[in-house]
Amino acid sequence: MFPDFSDMSEYNIASLSRLIEQFERLPGIGHKTASRLAYYILSLSDEEAARFSDAIDDAHKKIHYCKQCGNYTDKELCPICSDPNRDRSIVCVVEGPRDVIALEKTESFNVLYHVLHGVISPMNGITPDMIRIKELLARLSEGNIKEVIMATNATVEGEATSMYISKLIKPFGVKVTRLAYGIPVGGDLEYADEVTLSLSIEGRREI
């Protein structure tokens, strides 16, 4: 239990409040955790604090989107796009850079990626032109790509985005696939939801 600082205006130090506010903007960090982290920053030595703020500046300055796939990189092309051993005829479309890492960890995927940096979400004011869809169409128009694997999240918005993009891709005449739905490995049938279960029945394979 940490004390709540929100109404401690008497003891508020402007620069401390601002630091707490900044930590509070981070995903999954509430007010109490933010104030705990801010106090921790104060307890650091000058060098350690400078190292922290420099790491933020440095990462933000050096890291940008890969010119081709949109993944984060500090070079012009990311290591995947510049890897000569990749199958350049398949492009896997994902929502974010961390999805690339998740898929790469399977070690069963030797394709190129396309990072959308978001999903279409009218509720949150994200329209199709705000994510990297036109960059994907530009890549397709070059004519080397034979298959596009849609690997957006299995959420309503991920699905909608996937459907929207599939329709745009159709005219290019490339194959469009998406990742299989089913019971997760190690998962209990008993606890699987009906939708997942019926999709895993629908997608059953001969053994």
Positions in the binding site for a second copy (CB under 8 A): 2-5, 8, 10-11, 13-16, 18-19, 21-22, 25-29, 33, 35-44, 46, 48-63, 72-74, 78-80, 96-98, 100-102, 104-105, 117
Q: Quick one: 116 or 169, whose CB is closer to a second copy? A: 116
- With beta carbons less than 8 A apart as the criterion, state whether 172 and 141 touch: yes
CB of 89 to a second copy, least distance (A): 22
Residue for token pair 């053994």 = 207
Residue for token pair 């606890």 = 191
Q: Quick one: 18 or 134, whose CB is closer to a second copy? A: 18
Alpha-carbon gap, residue 49 to 52, rounded angstroms: 5
Q: Quick one: 45 or 141, whose CB is closer to a second copy? A: 45
Report the first-to-last Cα separation within the chain, whole angstroms.
54
Alpha-carbon gap, residue 129 to 47, rounded angstroms: 43
Bridge partners of residue 65, in order along the sequence: 72
Say which residues have a Cβ less than 8 Å from residue 7's Cβ, sequence separation at least 6: none
Q: Quick one: 97 or 158, whose CB is closer to a second copy? A: 97
b (16+ CB within 10 A) / e for 18-50: ebbeebbeeeeeeebebbebbeebeeeeeeeee
CB of 63 to a second copy, least distance (A): 6
CB of 37 to a second copy, least distance (A): 5
CB of 40 to a second copy, least distance (A): 5
CB of 207 to a second copy, least distance (A): 27
Q: Quick one: 29 or 174, whose CB is closer to a second copy? A: 29
